[in-house]
Amino acid sequence: MTNITVSVPDDVYRAARIRAAERGSSVSGLVAEYLRSLSEREAEFARLEAQQRHIQKQIDRFSARDRLDREELHGRAVR
């Protein structure tokens, strides 16, 4: 495990200590949890990008006119 030193204003540190106590944790634990969540979000974003690329590769060709005629495309409900 690597130790890091972070400087924050006193009021931020006090608020963090209160939040940590409410969660039954420490300020160090809160910071570690936050940093872990950053890496998890990046991993999830990368997974979603890969999924999007995979789906896009499966689409050979797309043209809306192959599926809808002009009247259907521009149809308006009469009320």
pLDDT in tens, 18-48: 999 999 999 999 999 999 998 888 889 999 9
**Region label for 44, one of left (φ > 0), alpha (ψ between -120 and 50) or beta (otherwise):** alpha
pLDDT digits (tens, 9 = 90+) for 42-73: 889 999 999 999 988 888 777 666 676 777 76
Q: What are the structural domain ranges in the chain? A: 10-74
Which residue type does 54 have?
A: H
Mean of the pLDDT values across residues 6-21?
A: 96
DSSP classification of residue 24: T
**Lookup: tokens for 9:** 């204003």
* Predicted pLDDT at 75: 73
1 three-state secondary structure = coil
**Both tokens of residue 51?**
């999924």
pTM of the model: 0.54
Confidence of residue 79 (pLDDT cuts 50, 70, 90): very low
Residue 29, both tokens: 């634990």
pLDDT of residue 53: 92
